[in-house]
Structure 1
Amino acid sequence: MAGVVSRCAIGLLLYAAMASNAWAADELKRAAALLAEGKAKQAYTLLTPLEAERAGDDEFDYLLGTAAIDSGQPARGTLALERLIQRDPNHAGARLEMGRAYFLMGDDTRAKAEFDALLQLNPPPIARQAMTQYLQAIEQRNRSRGTQWSGYVSAGLGHDTNVNAATDKTKIFVPIFGGDLILTDTSTSKSDNLLFAAAGTDFSHPLTENVRLLAGADLRYRHYHHQHDFSFGTLAARGGVAIGSAGNQLRLGTQLDYLRQDHQANRRNLNGTIEWRKALGDSQQVNLFGQFGQIRYQRPEYRINDANQTLLGGSWLGLILPAHNGVTLATLFGGRERAREDRADGDKRMLGARATWQFNPIDDGELWVSAGWQQGHYCQENFLFATRRHDRLTDIGLGFNWRIGGAWSLRPAINHSRNRSNIAINEYRRTDYTLAVQHDFR
């Protein structure tokens, strides 16, 4: 909709064709020129100080309303345009801008009424095309506001160079012993081939005009051919509500994750989240989020690692390379993990960042690249190693989603991660090669 929403030149064309008076002041001529050049904010800045004196003048109210809308203030623009429409109900340019303002504000009922009325006035072909596009967008948006459901199933194979995310060293120097500790076979890295399967669904249902119920679930299983002890399955169930419009929305939710490994319950995570999403124009969005989670291990021997985790962060989503649907997502977050038991390393402070870039090099395929960084600083000296633990985890991924027909896609991917630590037993490298076939339901 970027081409539709930003088309103030069409309104100016209608205005020039149907308004009867010429601009009477140099300020108005300069403002009109700025709007024609796409410099709406400059035009708005020029016109705003004149409102007390010029409000009620047809030319001024039209230009001020248009400049406000194109500057990202549609509600402000409707005030100026309403004055003009009260004086001249058939002013086509003002009604087009009013319809556009309602559309940007999410008031589809009034936007549709304005566009339908304008179509009855036999507007120029370029204006008629724009109004038709708006009406189509309103119809599509109304459809999307109903109950929505999507799902997927996938399966594949691959190879994991470090199934247990362990060090490749066979012995570690331990200061408290004054010598080397020989690691057991299960404490060193293992590689293996794998098979995996996954399925998931997302559901959304409107409770009121501005409140939606959200729910979803994902089920995943990974089987290693030889390292059976590290085969695992996960179940994630989530629910929440979204309050507000798509361009300005508050989300409250919760998620419960279960992990089973070697046919035994291993870990349960319960998270509560709050997120605010705000659109910046047609091609950008910012998110702010907070998350509180409980990490609970199910086996007695692992419960010393139980912790409560708090995260705060923000992200930016932007459209680049529009011709190829290029999208960039950048996230920054930080937080704290508070140990519930006497964990050897104590509490943990975290700071991290992640970026993902995706675009369509071909019509039937999406290429994505991701990179992440996270550092963790522990607050308690580890008595075995006589130091406080510091970790730095980095990862990079590359993949391609190739639509091979209908809702089917072929998905090769490579992911590499590395954890650096001042305590050698926590260092590792891991590379995951996978090839999946996926079917999407909508």
Structure 2
Amino acid sequence: MTRQKMPPVIRGAILAGLTMAAAMPAAAEVDGVVQQATGHLQAAKAGDAYAMLAPLAAERAGDPDFDYALGLAAADSGHPAEAIIAFQRVLAIQPDNAQARAELARAYALAGDIDTARAQFDTVVQDPSLPDPVRQRFDRLVRDFDRQIAGGGTDLSGFFDLSGGWDSNINTATDLTQITIPLFAGLGPGALGAAARKTGKSYYEMQGAVSIVSAVSRQTRLFGSALGSWRDNVDSKAFDQASAALTGGVAHTLPSRDVLSLSGQFQNFWLGHDSYRQSYGAIGQYTHLLAGGRALTVAGQLFRLDYENDPLRDADRYGAAISYIDRVMVATLSGGKEETRRRSGDHLSNSYLGASLGFEQPVGGVNLVGGLSAERRRYDARDALFLKKRADEQVDASFGVKVPVADRVYLRPRVTYTRNWSNIDLYDYERVTVNLGLRAEF
């Protein structure tokens, strides 16, 4: 439940229940202003009713009929604080008016104070004159408030994605056929083997994920997720890829409504059907909420990388990022360091700095989805073969469309482009992928 809007089921239950109530106090005669305002309310024109009644509040406050109509108009037009005051004036004169007390509870809920709303509804339910059908409806509302006070229960979500297409460079390799290695320059250029040259193949890919969020209290939630992917390149087993990642953590909402979270993650990556790398570590994040569904996040991470058959590459990776998020896009600045744990691997240690922008924009019944990122990497020590420190700049771009074909099922054509510039020819490459996928979300 938000501060701006009460779920229709709650509002509907109140109106339906109170219509059935037979023993509610009411004035014998209602003046014309209140009658006209009531007509506006029945026509779903709460703003007009509020504009008519609010200027009269100073002279009419204390009249239960007027205050009740003003309370309804204020609540339904986005002024819950004024509605609370108006309904309190009604109850000061008519303490047994269950209808006014129910509307007062609704106003508290609209204002975000569900504890007081729950207490007011509980008082209404205890009224012995309340008909049983109405009492049953209000009992359900009280249980719903209890669920919110406890934190909201448990939510499960996820997706499954099946896609296929063409990849111009499945091994992210140079398109050169031969290069000169400075250490052996006297021997002239050397021919590159097939595995070290750019290779294009068609492929298919499967991805899936499931996540769960469970409330411990209104402020604290536990969360966890599992993500897996499999990619098969046609007639090229050596560069097939798979990954699996498990994440679990806790998030706590502060009194300011900002959120602090801490999570741990384990990931395994397979290359050519053999286990290639494991990574495990922790991520901390602070999210500051802004108006209009926007947010700023600051995150830090520390991971250990273990390579199955290449201990020289084993490293610790730590970094930080700051992101701006709104309803359409996510913009991120990030940076950090990957430090090999063996001195003999210093030429693989590197620092990085990056920026990215992702968006999803609804247009004409479909969603346009895209992203752009850039990263700069500088390596710590000279490469033993190429006799210089490696320096890379990489740009990635993607664009696609999500076309709904059924409830929460989308057709997803997509194209991506990657360009990595490197001062060492072996790592300088270009890559394009084009694919078509079907994605189901739940």
- Normalised by the length of structure 1, the TM-score is 0.70
**2:173: which partner in 1?**
166
Tell me the CA shift for residue 18 of structure 1: 1.5
Seen in structure 2, the aligned counterparts of structure 1 residues 83 and 362 have a Cα distance that, compared at 3 Å, is: closer
The residue that corresponds to 2:210 in the other structure is 201
Residues 78-89 of structure 1 mapped to structure 2, 5 A cutoff = none
- Residue in 1 that maps onto 2:225: 216
Quote the Cα distance in structure 2 between the aligned partners of 1:359 and 1:2: 26
Change (3 A) 1:108 1:260: same
Cα distance in 1 between the residues matched to 2:407 and 2:153: 24
Match of 1:260 in 2: 270
Alpha-carbon separation, structure 2, partners of 1:397 and 1:2: 37
Summarize deviations over 1:373-399 as a string: whole Å, max 9, x none: 111111212232222111111100001
Residue 13 of structure 1 and its aligned partner are, at CA, apart by: 7.0
In the superposition, relative to structure 1, how do residues 340 and 87 fare at CA in structure 2: closer, same or farther (>3 Å)?
same
The yes-or-no answer on 1:430 pairing with 2:431 is yes
1:229 counterpart residue number = 238
Distance in 1 (CA, whole Å) between partners of 2:218 and 2:57 is: 37
Report if the CA contact (8 A) 1:171-1:180 is conserved.
yes
Distance 1:84 1:252 in 2: 44
> What is the CA distance between 1:189 and its match in structure 2?
1.1
Q: How many residues align?
A: 355
Check 1:439–1:382 CA distance in 2 against 1; reply closer, same or farther (3 A cut).
same
Residue 254 of structure 1 and its aligned partner are, at CA, apart by 1.1
Q: Which digits, 9 at most, give the CA deviation of each residue in 1:171-209, with x for residues without a partner?
A: 222222224232211111111011111221001111122
Deviations 1:358-417 (A, max 9, x none): 111133x21111000111111212232222111111100001111101232211111111
Q: Does 1:20 align with 2:59?
A: yes
Match of 1:357 in 2: 359
8 Å CA contact 1:99, 1:110 repeated in 2: no
Cα distance change, pair 270–108 in 1 and its aligned pair in 2 (3 A): same
Partner of 1:335: 336
User: Could you tell which deviates more after superposition, 214-223 or 374-383?
Assistant: 374-383
- Once residues 393 and 97 of structure 1 are traced to their aligned partners in structure 2, the CA distance between those partners, rounded to angstroms, is 59
Q: Which has the higher strand share?
A: 1
Could you tell me which runs of 5 or more consecutive residues in structure 2 were left unpaired when the two chains were aligned.
Answer: 7-45, 61-77, 94-102, 124-140
- Report the equivalent of 2:311: 303
In structure 2, distance between residues paired with 1:192 and 1:343: 32
Bigger radius of gyration: 2
CA distance in 1, matches of 2:377, 2:231: 27
Partners of 1:170 and 1:199 lie apart in 2 by 37
> How many angstroms does 1:312 deviate by?
0.6
Root-mean-square deviation (Å): 3.9
Distance in 2 between the 1:101 and 1:421 partners?
Answer: 61
- Matching residue of 2:397: 396
Q: 1:68-89 CA distances to partner (integer Å, 9 max, x unpaired)?
A: xx9xxxxxx99xx999999998
Contact 1:103–1:111, Cα closer than 8 Å, also in 2: no
Where does structure 1 differ by over 4 angstroms across 4 or more consecutive aligned residues? 1-5, 7-15, 81-91, 96-104, 111-117
Deviation at residue 2 of structure 1 after TM alignment: 9.5
Counterpart in the other structure of 2:161: 154
User: Is the 1:335–1:350 Cα contact (8 Å) retained in structure 2?
Assistant: yes
> CA separation in 1, counterparts of 2:277 and 2:422?
24
- Report matched runs for 1:377-416 at 5 Å: 377-416=378-417
Structure 1 residue 255: deviation in Å? 1.2
Q: Aligned partners of 2:301 and 2:200: how far apart in 1?
A: 34
Q: Name the CA shift for 1:103/1:293 in 2 (closer, same or farther; >3 Å).
A: farther
Q: Secondary structure at the match of 1:430?
A: strand
Q: Taking structure 1 as reference, are residues 173 and 359 closer, same or farther at Cα in structure 2, changes over 3 Å only?
A: same
Structure 1 position 100, deviation (Å): 7.8
Q: 1:211 to 1:181 in 2, by over 3 A?
A: same
* Mapped pair 1:240 → 2:249: yes
CA distance in structure 2 between the partners assigned to 1:108 and 1:312 by the alignment: 37
The SS at the match of 1:282 is helix
| CA shift for structure 1 position 241 | 0.7
Distance 1:317 1:168 in 2: 38
Identity %: 23
TM superposition score normalised by structure 2: 0.70
Question: Are the counterparts in 1 of residues 4 and 110 from structure 2 also a CA contact under 8 Å?
Answer: no
